[in-house]
Amino acid sequence: MSDRFELTGSRALVTGATGGLGHAIARALHGRGVELVLTGRRADVLQPLADELNATAIAADLSSSDDLERLVSEAGRIDVLVLNAALPGSGAVLDYTPDQIERAVQVNILSPALLARRFGAEMVDRRRGHIVFIGSLSGLAATKGTGIYSMTKFGVRGLAHGLRQDLHGTGVGVSIVQPGFVRDAGMFADTGLKPPPGAGTATPRQVTDAVISAVERDRAEVNVAPRVLRLAARVGGLAPGLSATLARRLGSDKHAAEFADRQKDKR
Ligand SMILES: NC(=O)c1ccc[n+]([C@@H]2O[C@H](COP(=O)([O-])OP(=O)(O)OC[C@H]3O[C@@H](n4cnc5c(N)ncnc54)[C@H](OP(=O)(O)O)[C@@H]3O)[C@@H](O)[C@H]2O)c1
């Protein structure tokens, strides 16, 4: 795809619209003249946002196959699919119940795959569309207490890049946007914790800029974090043993326990 994707007048579905980054992405797309279909579980949060942005609201639980089917059938034509919903999946793997592991897989990786398949096929038929997966730098490197989350975000990255190659030449683009720690809104900001020393944070605006640029310029992967964290994630992916030793020296055990504690209610 060499032409710039025209957002104005397009129709987008944003999952996880009730969350911190979902709100920001929805508002940014609305600002670019995109007609929106918004989904999330909490109808009481979804509806006011939909009213504000003159959008269609479809409350759905992405861990339910019935809800997924209903979402697909009610959403109508979708030109831009932003697969943003996810659970934080933090904490030691052995502390998870089988149900919690299953839910993390359903919400974070299975539902994006099923929605991409359904809407992607329609986009290919129309020879126009774009699918954006919201991944994480935890999809490049795993750290202590992120096993469940990284399992899903590594998977989403594989799915995004494989699908991108499948759809090459069809008029449908695929991107993955991978934030590090985001301040002010979203699952990290909700913990009230500081990022690990030296990691730094990004803003929701940087994430929304990345989503828009990924769609307009059909970028394969956009990582949104200060340079040092982007580099650390790359090194962690290439040399996981060395990187784990360094992380332990920087106090990763304490950070992992604090995150798990503050995000326990989102499992
Ligand atoms: N914030 C960060 O620092 C950060 C960093 C890296 C990557 N990310 C990624 O950014 C994306 C957005 O995260 P966020 O920070 O905005 O988190 P958030 O505020 O916790 O929002 C998560 C969203 O996912 C939805 N969700 C969770 N379980 C669901 C289910 N069973 N069915 C339907 N929707 C469900 C939530 O809907 P309800 O609340 O209505 O249930 C909510 O809208 C995620 O993919 C996340 O992994 C975030």
155 lines ligand 1 (CB under 6 A): no
229/31 Cα distance (integer angstroms):
30
113/159 Cα distance (integer angstroms):
7
79/85 Cα distance (integer angstroms):
18
What is the helix (H) or strand (E) element at residue 7, kind and residue range? none
149/257 Cα distance (integer angstroms):
15
CA nearest neighbour of 214 among 135, 136, 131:
131
| pLDDT for 252 | 77
57 lines ligand 1 (CB under 6 A): no
List of domains in the chain? 11-266 (3.40.50.720)
| pLDDT for 2 | 53
Question: Residue 172's CB: how many other CB atoms inside 10 A?
Answer: 27
Q: Are 181 and 225 in contact (CB under 8 A)?
A: yes
Q: Are 87 and 104 in contact (CB under 8 A)?
A: yes
23 lines ligand 1 (CB under 6 A): no
DSSP one-letter code for 140 = T
| pLDDT for 88 | 94
Output the six-digit token pair for 65.
Answer: 């196959």
189/226 Cα distance (integer angstroms):
16
| pLDDT for 25 | 98
- Rounded to the nearest angstrom, the distance between the alpha carbon of 236 and the centre of ligand 1 is 24
From the alpha carbon of 153, which atom of ligand 1 is closest?
A: 47
- Rounded to the nearest angstrom, the distance between the alpha carbon of 85 and the centre of ligand 1 is 4
149 is catalytic: yes
186 lines ligand 1 (CB under 6 A): yes
Axis-axis angle for helices 111-126, 147-166 (nearest 10): 20
What is the helix (H) or strand (E) element at residue 245, kind and residue range? helix 240-249
89/84 Cα distance (integer angstroms):
15
Return the SS3 of 266: helix
CA nearest neighbour of 153 among 205, 232, 229, 89:
89
The residues, any chain, with a CB within 8 Å of residue 134's CB and separated by 6 or more, are 16, 21, 82, 83, 84, 86, 176, 177, 178, 179, 207, 211
pLDDT by 10-residue block (mean), the chain, 267 residues:
86 98 98 98 98 98 97 98 96 95 98 98 98 98 95 98 98 98 96 90 98 98 97 94 88 83 89
DSSP one-letter code for 182 = B
**Which of 5, 133, 149, 154 is labelled catalytic?**
149
The residues, any chain, with a CB within 8 Å of residue 51's CB and separated by 6 or more, are none
| pLDDT for 118 | 98
